[in-house]
Structure formats: C-alpha cells, structure tokens
C-alpha cells in the first residue's frame, strides 16, 4: 500500500506477528533503475519474511530489479498487476497489465530466470466491466506457464476509468467464488485471496477454499488484530504480547532511527496510531503521538505523556 507499508510500518507489524508474510509498498522499476536504490530497498533484518513488490512491465528492467531485491535480501519478488490508479496506468503497469497476459508472462519469466527466490503476482479478477471468469482463468494459466506458482487475487474487478483508487476498493462487487474456482482449476498453484476481509471468522472461512489470505487496510487501521495471528493461524505458541510492550519497542526503534538516519519520530509513530483502538483514552493517546509540537522530545518522553493522567479541572 503506497505511502503506508514502508519499512517503519513493517517493523511495527513484525512486532505483532512473527510469521505473517509482509509486503513492501509498490516500488517502480524506474525508481530502482534511475533512483536511489538504498532509499527504496533498505529494510530491517527483523522484518523477515518480507516480499518486494515491483511495478513495471519491461522484462529486462523487471529482471534487473528482481536481482536487486534478491541481493538486498528480500524473500520474494511480487509483481503488481492489481493497482488501478490512472497514474500507474500511465506508467504501463498495475491492473492494466491484465489485458496483456503475454507481456506479464514475459516479465515473470525474466524474473524467474534472474533470481532463485519465488516470483509471485498480485492481480484483480478482471478489469472494467469484463466479468467473465474465463478472463482471469486465462490470465493465471498463461502467467503460471512462465514460472509463477503463487497468485494473490483481489476479488474485485479494477475499473480503469471512472473510479478513484478508493472507489475501486469499494464499488466493484466482491466475488470470492471466482477466486475459489481458480484454486479448483489450478490445484497445483498457491492461491491467496484479498479484499474486504476484516475478521478472524472471515479469514478462517476463506482458508477452507484457498491457500492464504492477504489483509491490507484492516491490518493497518486495527493492528492489534495481528497479535493473535501466530497462535490462531500459524499454530505458534502465544507470545503474551501487550500493547504497552509493543509501544515501548517502537519508542526505542524511533530513537534508534533518529540517531542513525535522522528520521523524525512522527513519521514512524503515524503507523501505530490504531494500536489502542477501542480502549479508554485511545483518542488522547493518538493526539499525543500525533502532536508535532512534541517533535523535539525523546520518544520515551512522548510515550510517558501519552499515558499520563489527564489533569482535572479545579
């Protein structure tokens, strides 16, 4: 999720779940070919397992960027064929690539030939008003022949014209049955589902039909949900986490990032503002961690203020 799942967000989410696979923001091939590679690819070793999501369509550039991702230590390379924004379309990548499965297959093959780590694809079930199952079935079939064994499927169409990215997450109807059918038709492939999944019960239901579930905005806005994932979905012992312990680790991380890279704590704290959702005092806690007037304070001092009793009027 562009501008959301940066390395600071991923560090925070990894404190909550040790086993969930994390994904970077989409990084364009142009940004890596012509820009600051370290700025885009630097991450904390504690984030593993973590996948690098690429946006692009030129096979040679995709292969080059996949090699960079492998060299930097990522566990997977993911090609985005699901983003519907017009800005992305102008760059000839994202959901518009679903109309060109041959080009996607060429890019996937170039990456598979270039790296030893898995190459995966994230996509929609269709584009615009094309609602035929055959469209997505043929897309998956063609791309899988190029060497992709894992598909993460957002169970909505992407409307390339007339809807904003936000509307594209809400207006086209969810059609989970099409993703389930993909798993039935391609049992040898790993099929994960995405879109509109916000509860433990919904995840469990989907896992009866597919191999995995990707959760985006719900995990971001209600991050404490992640704290149960390892024990509920991965069979791991409960960590005994507390929100306060996670917040303390984040405050220490903010202090380290400020010393090592000059990163303002506010640019990191924004990712954890949902940590206390539903608890008494959550609104004031968010206000303190969002207060830029406190930017000169050490993060531990900000944390103390966030938990301080509210002064009572005389």
Cβ-based burial of 277 (10 A; exposed 0-12, middle 13-18, buried ≥19): middle
202: pLDDT strictly greater than 60? yes
Q: Over the chain, what is the mean pLDDT?
A: 94
Convert 223-274 into a string of H (helix), E (strand) and C (coil).
HHHHHHHHHHHCCCCCCCCCHHHHHHHHHHHHHHHHHHHCCCHHHHHHHHCC
Query: Identical fold at 7-233 and 243-307?
Result: no
8-36 core/surface letters (b: 16 or more CB in 10 A; e: else): bbbbbbbbbbeebbbbbbbbbbebbeeee
> What is the number of alpha carbons within 13 Å of residue 186 lying toward its C-beta?
24
* Active-site residue (options: 81, 83, 96, 148): 83
Q: Tell me the whole-structure pTM to 2 decimals.
A: 0.93
Residue 89 CB neighbours (<10 A): 17
Considering only residues 90 and 31, tell me which one the structure prediction assigns the higher pLDDT. 31
Instruction: Give 88's pLDDT tier (boundaries 50, 70, 90).
Output: low
155-179 burial by CB neighbour count: b if 16+ within 10 A, else e?
bbbbbbeebeeeebbeebebbbebb
Q: What number does CATH give the domain 7-233?
A: 3.20.20.70
Condensed to tens digits (0 to 9), the pLDDT of residues 246-302 reads: 999 999 999 999 999 999 999 999 999 999 999 999 999 999 999 999 999 999 999
Count Cβ atoms within 10 A of the Cβ of residue 124 and give its class: 0-12 exposed, 13-18 middle, 19 or more buried: buried
Query: Per residue in 39-86, pLDDT tens?
Result: 999 999 999 999 999 999 999 999 999 999 999 999 999 999 998 776
CA 43 to chain centre: 14
Three-state SS at 122? strand
Assign a CATH topology to domain 243-307: 1.20.120
pLDDT of residue 164: 79
Q: Is the pLDDT of residue 153 over 90?
A: yes
Name which of 169, 188, 104, 168 is nearest 138 in CA terms. Answer: 104
pLDDT at 90: 55
pLDDT of residue 169: 80
For the chain, give every domain's residue range.
7-233, 243-307
CA distance 76 to 51: 4
DSSP annotation of 77 reads E
Q: Classify 240 in phi/psi space as left (phi over 0), alpha (psi -120 to 50) or beta.
A: left
Residue 9 is a catalytic residue: no
pLDDT tens digits, 226-237:
999 999 999 999
């Amino acid at each position: 999720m562009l501008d959301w799942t940066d390395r600071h967000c991923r560090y925070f989410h990894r404190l909550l779940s040790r086993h969930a696979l994390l994904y970077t923001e989409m990084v364009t091939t142009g940004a890596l070919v012509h820009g600051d590679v370290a700025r885009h690819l630097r991450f904390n070793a504690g984030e593993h397992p973590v996948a690098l999501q690429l946006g692009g369509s030129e096979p040679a550039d995709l292969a080059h960027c996949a090699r960079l991702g492998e060299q930097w230590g990522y566990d997977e390379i993911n090609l985005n064929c699901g983003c519907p924004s017009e800005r992305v379309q102008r760059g000839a990548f994202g959901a518009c690539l679903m109309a060109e499965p041959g080009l996607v297959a060429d890019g996937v093959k170039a990456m598979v030939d270039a790296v030893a780590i898995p190459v995966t694809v994230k996509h929609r079930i269709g584009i615009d008003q094309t609602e035929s199952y055959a469209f997505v079935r043929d897309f998956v079939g063609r791309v899988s022949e190029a060497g992709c064994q894992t598909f993460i499927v957002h169970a909505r169409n992407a409307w390339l014209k007339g809807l904003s990215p936000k509307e594209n997450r809400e207006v086209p109807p969810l059609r989970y049955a099409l993703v389930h059918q993909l798993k039935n038709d391609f049992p040898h492939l790993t099929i994960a589902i995405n879109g509109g999944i916000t509860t433990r019960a919904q995840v469990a239901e989907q896992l009866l039909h597919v191999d995995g579930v990707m959760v985006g905005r719900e995990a971001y806005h209600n991050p404490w949900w992640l704290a149960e994932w390892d024990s509920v979905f991965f069979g791991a012992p409960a960590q005994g986490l507390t929100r306060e312990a996670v917040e303390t680790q984040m405050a220490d991380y903010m202090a380290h990032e400020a010393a090592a890279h000059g990163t303002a704590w506010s640019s990191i704290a924004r990712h954890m503002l949902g940590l206390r959702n539903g608890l008494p005092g959550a609104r004031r806690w968010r206000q303190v961690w969002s207060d830029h007037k406190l930017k000169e304070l050490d993060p531990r001092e900000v944390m103390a203020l966030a938990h301080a009793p509210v002064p009572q009027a005389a």
